[in-house]
Amino acid sequence: MNYPPAIIAEAMVNGLLTGSVYALVALGLTLVYGVLHIINFAHGALLTCAMFAVWALVTFTGISPYAAILPLALAFFAGGYVLQRYLIGPASHGDDSNILLVTLGLSIAIENALLAAFHADTRNLEGDFGFQVIELGPMLISRPKLIGFAAAVAVAGLLWLLLARTDTGRAIRAVAKEKLGARLMGIEVGHIYGVTFGIGCACLAVAACLLMPSFYVNPRVGNAFVLVAFTIVVLGGMGSVAGALLGGLFIGMVESLGGLLLGDSLGQLGIFVIFILVLLFRPTGLFGARA
């Protein structure tokens, strides 16, 4: 199948834009992964939760989904902190396989609580957010996706600053590198774990606000983003903020071009094959070392 260059260019731009939101979902995951060294099975359910929160907030109060970013991010930070500090942490006794089970149990509970509360219907934000386009030469670029891209890059930048320049950031990095050493230095590891998980959840809240104008939500939708987010985390190097951003953009492009050339179903194959190859031949990730 031959496509005119304009279509290919547009697919690439679209891949980058979509990838930026994947990156945001992956940012939360990579932090939790890099610091707590856990695979968070509840990540998808928490994203769904955030998307429903956006939907409810916008539908019932009439505010713009972009205005919801700040309050929801704060709320999810607090919720994530509490969840990790007072539930996941104590319940799993610090054992890896138990953390798996706890987050798995949580994801089942959250997904079905959403089902009970909102029913199984697929919901969209009403209004014309989704239809606004910006013309760029022959290309029609979706405005909500462009905003999403800018916001995702901004959030990644902020997160990088936070990790590099603040005391909390230094503490997080210390815990990630050497838990015992950090504890000896007087860092309260449980607190840092909570903060990290909270930041991860805040990232999800931002991602939800950016997704909802052009996407839909139902109680299971978050799962669609989790596998791809894991792929990005591995590609970018676990715990690396810049890696997650680059990995997200890269995967977005692969998916978009793969979809164009192989069809959207088989296009998914490209993602996993790249994932396997990277793990086999360059397990520290495509983009440099671990944080």
Partner 1 sequence: MTIINQEIIRMSTNITLPAVSRRTLLGATAATATLGMPAILRAQPAPVKLGILQPITGALAQDGDLGRFGAVTAIEEINAAGGIKSLGGAKIEMVFGDARSNPEAGTQEVERMQAEGVCAIVGGFASPICLAASQAAARYNLAYVVDVGAADAIVTRGLTNTFRFGPGIGIVTKTALANLVALNDAAGKPAKTVVLVHEDGAFGSGLAKLMQTELPKLGFEILETIPHPTPARDMTNVALRIRSLNPDLLIPSSYYGEFVLLARTMQQQHIRPKGIYSVLNGAASNFRFVKEFPEAAQGVMDCNHWADPRKPNTAMLRKKADEAGKAWAYNIPLNYSCVRLAADAIERAGSVDREKIVAALTASNFAGHCMPYGATKFEGGQNQGAQPVNLQVQGNDIKVIFPAAFAEAKAVFPFKG
Partner 2 sequence: MKRRELLFIFALLAALVLVPLLASNLLINFLVTALIVALAAQGWNILGGLGGQISFGHAAFFGTGAYVTELLQLRFGVNAWLAALVGIGVAAALGWTIGAAVFRARLRGSYFALVTLAFAEVLRILANALEFTGGATGLLLKLQPGAAQFQFESRAVFAWIAIAVVGVVLLLTRHIANSRFGAQLVAVRENEDAARALGVDIIATKLRAITLSAAITASAGVLYVQYFLYLDAQIGYGTWISIEALLAAIIGGVGTVAGPVIGALALHALGELTKGFAGSITGIDLVIFGLLLVAAVAFAPAGIVGAWKRYVGGRRNA
The Cα–Cα gap between 78 and 205 comes to 12
Query: Is 286 near partner 2 (CB under 8 A)?
Result: no
* Among 53-61, 64-72, 102-110, 134-142, the segment contacting partner 2 (CB under 8 A): 102-110
Nearer to partner 1, 95 or 264 (CB): 264
Q: Which residues lie below 8 Å from residue 105, measured CB to CB, with a gap of 6+?
A: none
The answer to whether residues 223 and 275 touch, using CB atoms and an 8 Å cutoff, is: no
Site string for partner 2, 40-79 (x = CB under 8 A): ----------------------------------------
Measured over the CA atoms of residue 159, residue 164, residue 170 and residue 173, the dihedral's sign is positive
CA–CA dist 64, 144 (Å, integer): 12
Site string for partner 2, 224-253 (x = CB under 8 A): ---x--xx--x---x---------------
Task: Candidates 66, 160, 215, 287: give the one binding partner 1 (CB under 8 A).
Answer: 215
- Which residue in the block uniquely carries the two structure tokens 């290309």? 139
Reported as half-sphere exposure (CB side, CA atoms, 13 A), residue 196 has a value of 30
55-62 long-range Cβ contacts below 8 angstroms, 24+ apart: 55/123, 55/125, 55/212, 55/217, 58/125, 58/212, 59/125, 59/126
Per-residue contact string for residues 58-97; x = within reach of partner 1 by CB under 8 A: ----------------------------------------
Phi, psi (rounded to 5 degrees) for 216: -125, 170
Q: Which range, of 63-71, 116-124, 146-154, 183-191, touches partner 2 by CB under 8 A? A: 116-124
By CB under 8 A, the residues from 246 to 285 that bind partner 2 are: 265-266, 268-269, 272-273, 275-276, 279-281, 283
Closer Cβ to partner 1, 58 or 192, answer by number: 58
Helices (H), the chain: 5-36, 43-61, 69-83, 89-92, 96-118, 143-165, 167-177, 179-184, 189-211, 223-236, 241-262, 264-281
Residues that bind partner 1 (CB under 8 A): 1, 3-4, 7, 10-11, 14, 18, 22, 112, 115, 119-122, 124, 126, 130-133, 140, 142, 214-216, 218-221, 223-225, 228, 255-256, 259-260, 263-268
Residues that bind partner 2 (CB under 8 A): 33, 37, 39, 87, 90-93, 95-98, 100-102, 104-116, 119-120, 219, 227, 230-231, 234, 238, 265-266, 268-269, 272-273, 275-276, 279-281, 283
